[in-house]
Each structure stands twice: as C-alpha cells, then as structure tokens.
Amino acid sequence: MIEGILIGLTTALTFQNIFMVMIGCFFGTIIGMLPGLGPMTAIALMIPITYGFDPATGLILMAGVYYGAVFGGSTSSILLNAPGVPGTVATSFDGYPMAQQGKAGKALAIAAWSSFAGGTLSAIYLLFMAPSLSKVSLSFRSPDYFALMILGLTAIAAFSSKGQFLKAMMMVVLGLMLASVGQDSLSDITRFTFDNMNLTDGISFVLVVMATFAMSEALTIILKKNDPTAAAKQVSLTELGSIKINKEERGKMYKTIPRSSIIGFLIGVLPGAGATIASFLAYGMERNLVKDEEKEKFGKGSVNGLSAPETANNAACSGSFVPMLTLGIPGSGTTAVMLGALLGFGIQPGPRLYMTNPEIFWSVIMSMYIGMVILLILNLPLIPYIARILAVPKNYLIPLILFFSITGIYVMSFNNFDIYLMIGIAVVATFLRLYDFPMPPLILAFVLGGLMEENLRRSLLLSNGSWEFLWDRTLTVCILVTTILIVLWHIYKTLTKKKS
Amino acid sequence: MNINTTKIISLLFFIFSAFYLYTAYQIQVFAFDENAPFNARTFPIYLGYTGLFFSGLKLILPDPDTIKVEHKTLEYKKTGILILIAIIYGATILKVGYFLTTSLFLFASYYFLGERRWILMFLLSFPFVAAFMYLLHGVLDIYLRDPFLKSIGVMG
C-alpha cells in the first residue's frame, strides 16, 4: 500500500495535476453555487475537455469539480438559503440563520473546516477500505455482479425518486433501453438502429449526460422562468463578518466531525444513497446526541447543526468512490458520469484497476487530500468574490451552457446527427423533469446497461439458460435479498405516508 | 375534464415499450444462435417486458401525488426559439465552420433571451469563441474543422 500511496502522490503532485485540481475546485464551486446546476452538470460540461488529458489527470479534474460543486452548494445554502445541490439542503437549516445573525463569515468558515475535515477523514477511510474491498471483490462472479447492478439501480431509484419509485424505475428502464442501441458487443449484430449508420456504435454516453443534465437544465430554467443567479446579486461583501472560530465552537466541532464523517462515508459507500441522505442522517443523529441546551439551538444557528451535515456530505462524496473504484459499479449519478468518462478513456474500473492502473487508483485518492486543502485555502477567502461573479445574468448563462454542451458533442463526433439527437433527448428530458421524472437513475442505467447485459449473458450461458444462478451463490442471494428489502421498505414508507 | 399528464406519459411509455419489445423480437440473430440461452435479442426482450410492467403499474395504480404544471406560466416561446437556434446551429456547423456558427449562435441566443447590451453581447460571442477555439485547437490539440476560417486563410 505504501508503494501505491507513493505512486499516487507522485502522479497527483505534478504541476499539471495540482493545477487541474485547482481549476476543478474553482469551476465546481461556481457551478455548485447555482441552484439547479449540480455536480453532474459541472462534470458533464468538463468531460470533453478531460479527453485532451491522460486518464489520471482527467479523473483528478472531475474529482476536483465534484468537491468544488458540493462546497459551492453549501455556500449558497448559507448565504442565500438556496441550496445549490440537494446534498447541502441540511446545511441551510443552521447556516442561513447564522448568516442572518450577521455571522455569515463564521458560518462559511465552519462549513469549510467541516468539509475539509469530513473529506480528509473519509479519504483516509477510503485509503484503507478500497484496497481491501478490491481484494474481496476479486471473488465476485458474473451472477454477483448482475445482482449488484440490480441492487444499485433499485437503490438509486428508491432514494432519488422523492416518493415516485415507479417513475424512477421507468427512467431506469429507459436508460437501459438507450444503452441497448447499436452493435451487440459479442455478435456485432446491430439493434434498434433502423438502418441509420450514425447509431451503429450506439448513443454516446457524453451525449446522453449533456442532454439530460446540462442542456435540459438550461431549457428548464428558461421554461420555468427561473433565475438561478438572481439571489447571488443580494450577497453583500461587507456584511459577512469575521471568519474566526472561537475555542468553544472548535470544541463542539471536534466532537461532531468524527462521528458525522463515519456516517457520511458509510452512507456514501451504499449504492444509490449519497450526500443528501448522509447529510440529513448526520443532522438528525447530531441533534439526538447533543445536550438539551444545544438541541434548543438547532434550526437557529447551531454550530453542531451546521458542522454535521457539512462533514457528512463531503465524507459521502469520498465514500461514493468506493463502489466505483473497487467494483466498477457507481453508487451515485455523479460517479456514474465519472465511470462513463473512464470507460471513454478505455479504462474499466473494478477490482483489477488497483493492479492494472495503480497510478489512476491511487492518484485519485491522493488528489482528494490535495483538493480538500485547495478548497480550504483557495475558496474560503475568495467565496464572497466568487459569489459576486455569479451575478451574471441568465441571458448569458443559459446560452453559454448550451454552447458548452453542443461544443462537447461536436468535438467528439463532428456529426450533425449527434447534435440533433442531443437536442431531441434534451427536449424529452425537459418535459419529463416538469413532471418529476428523475434523471440520475437514467444515467446510472445507461452506464451500467452494457455491463449488465454482459454479466447476464455469462451467467445464463454458464447455467445453460437456467435462472438458478440467482440463488446458487450465497453472495448473490444476499445482494438480491438486500434489493428486495429496499423495495419492501420503500413500499412500507409509501403506505405509512398515505395513512398519515 | 382533468387529464393526468403523468398517466399520459406512462401510457406513452407503455406504447414505447411495446414498440421496443416488437422491434426486439425482430432483431436478426445468427441461425446457430437462435436457440442459444442468450443471444442479441434476449436482453432487449427482458427490457421490453420490464418497461411494460412498470409503466403498466403506473397506469393502473392510483396517483395521489399528481404533479400539476401551470402551463400558462411556462415560457414556451423563448424555449422554442432557443431550440430552433440550436437546431440551425447543428445544421450549419459542419458546412460553415465552428467559429462563425458558434459566435452567431451565442449572439442570437443572447438577443432572443432579451439582452440588448451590444458590446457585451459581441465580446461574449466572437472574441470568446476565438479564445475558446484557441484553447481547444491550439492548447489541447483537439481538431476543429472550420471551412470559413480556412477560406479566409486564418486556419490551415
């Protein structure tokens, strides 16, 4: 492991990679601050640029964007009570009241230090957990992988559906259907191409991500007459107050951070869960653990109430890398986008990545530490200024998002058809978004579609067409039972909600 | 009569799944693969049935949390114009070239979204695209075809 850490450090500490982390953190912070434009959009817009670099640098850039976006999301939660990303909703519960009391600078500092500590601690957990899990996952067989993918897709549908599980499952099926377009990987037989040569290689992953996130988000903003930058204009540079944290506040954070980082990391590792659930759970847990006197302050500007979700959401980001790096199965929509980008580089993440491409595996982990440090020293003093930059009118912001999306596709294919297809998918996605059909399950399914078919093919061929492979191995059964429990839990929650 | 749009979307998805399933059965596989436990049409067939299952359930089950969208408040005109500009951009980019079409696309988009600060609109279109093009083509070595710039001798 020491050797790996050194390889990672050597790669991550090159001038180019440190620069990429800085760019990623900065760009991610800006996008993350804009309500509605989350880390997935930020990463999607970066994908075409990453193809100009080697895979390690590309992934480091995307990881920087991811952390920056989560950090930027908490800034808008605190300053504007408008969470940039869902994972920072819980941050606004105590962050915004603090800002209203004239302690915005302090709230930002608490959030920044908590994010830094949460991210750093979880990167340490990742450092120890990922290699061990990689070794364990080498014993996984095709049926286990197939079951694991079913679990991942069901979980993301259950957690991201806001109570609309069937809608999310429909999006999963749509994602798998889109992934099935093009040549069959084994026989080279074309499927669903309708004799169109442009579809023979299938639909590009970048195209689907750009269409369903960047482009459809831009169209939704115009359609709903939202102005994500309007709130940023209200930020006052002179009223942020001191960013110093006193001894008593530090004492509170010392207790909150370790427990919130553990819960955040563990939730992040679970397929489909992620920063949003982690931050809410950490907030709830913290409220139960503090003294009655502190409990009274929750929702009114509590230091513990702000520190807990901020620690947990950053820890969950690192945690979500575990299934992607070790199993090749992303646990969230954001890591699904990263997995897709890695596949574009010709790299297959999974248990063997640790051995075949150690420089990628370790440099990503190492760059997380560097990213956290950069976020702290670069963003904290610059936050008020970055917030002012965001007062760019939407009349400029929207065309620029469309421009980056279309350019991203154009430089990859030099093909009009792909641009038309992207516009078509974006229009459908915008319409579906209006009726609360979630997009992350579609992306995860699209990324996993090929792998899922491959593993089902191997499992069915090995068992001579029998579905017995689903209960032949204990591990497969355990994974499928977990899937069933998630579905049952979801049905139970829906029924109890209806009764209440 | 109130029409539940979510149900209509589910019905459309049901029809789409049925069409997908029909097309999946039409996939031509090799003769020796016809009776294999798994061939090119197996997975799509399962997907088609799964799509029918979930959209069918959504159609049948009651929908207490119906999403109501106020269509009158939506900005269909500007959205439609933006989509149209994007389609024209897509249609001309290969023939005219990246620089001119992208700059005009940005300029037109700013205009139709209500912007009238001409200097800023110009700066954020032509010089901005030139700088971005230099980043892609000159720094990152990503090839950009541009017949227009080629015709005026700027690009080789």
pLDDT at A381: 76
In this complex, do A434 and B67 lie within 8 Å of one another by their Cβ atoms?
yes
Q: Most B CBs within 10 Å: which of A61, A142, A229, A416, as the mutation test of the B interface? A: A416
Count CB-CB contacts under 10 A for residue B146: 22
| Predicted TM-score (pTM) above 0.90 | no
Residues A447 and A233: beta-carbon distance below 8 Å: no
Residues A85 and A38: beta-carbon distance below 8 Å: yes
Of A225 and A473, more confident? A473
pLDDT at B25: 95
Element (H, E) at A381: helix A380-389
pLDDT digits (tens, 9 = 90+) for A251-303: 989 989 999 999 888 888 876 666 777 888 888 888 888 888 888 888 888 99
In this complex, do B13 and A219 lie within 8 Å of one another by their Cβ atoms?
no
Q: Write out chain B residues lying below 8 Å of A435, CB-based.
A: 5-6, 9, 67, 69
pLDDT above 50 (res B1) = no
Which whole-number Å values give the CA distances from B140 to A31, A48, A53, A54, A164, in the listed order?
Answer: 23, 11, 8, 12, 43
Whether A174 and chain B come into contact, CB under 8 Å, resolves to: yes
CA distance A97 to chain B (A): 31
The identity of residue A53, as a single letter, is F
Average pLDDT over residues A92-118: 86
Which whole-number Å values give the CA distances from A433 to A97, A167, A218, B78, in the listed order?
Answer: 31, 11, 12, 18
| Mean of pLDDT over chain B | 88
Residue found by looking up tokens 């997908």 in the block: B20
Span of A237-241, A301-305, A400-404, B146-150 with lowest mean pLDDT: A237-241
In this complex, do B40 and A49 lie within 8 Å of one another by their Cβ atoms?
no
Of A102 and A83, more confident? A102
Nearest to A333 by CA among A229, A213, A451, A450: A213
In this complex, do A167 and B6 lie within 8 Å of one another by their Cβ atoms?
yes
CA distance B66 to chain A (A): 9
Burial of B138 (0-12, 13-18, 19+ CB in 10 A): exposed
Count CB-CB contacts under 10 A for residue B1: 2
pLDDT digits (tens, 9 = 90+) for B82-140: 999 999 999 999 889 889 999 999 999 999 998 889 999 999 999 999 998 887 777 77
| Mean of pLDDT over chain A | 82
Count CB-CB contacts under 10 A for residue A481: 12
Question: Could you say which of B27, B54, B124 has the minimum Cβ distance to residue A166?
Answer: B54
Measured distance CA(A473)–CA(A123) in Å, rounded: 32
Average pLDDT over residues A313-317: 86
Whether A395 and chain B come into contact, CB under 8 Å, resolves to: yes
Nearest CA in chain B to A400: B106
Backbone angles phi, psi at A465, to 5 degrees: 85, 0
Interface predicted TM-score of the whole assembly (ipTM), two decimals: 0.93
**The pair of three-digit structure tokens given for residue A337, joined into one six-digit string:** 């986008």
In this complex, do B73 and A225 lie within 8 Å of one another by their Cβ atoms?
yes
Nearest to A317 by CA among A83, A139, A73, A496: A73
In this complex, do A423 and B86 lie within 8 Å of one another by their Cβ atoms?
yes
pLDDT above 70 (res A390) = no
Q: Write out chain B residues lying below 8 Å of A452, CB-based.
A: 43
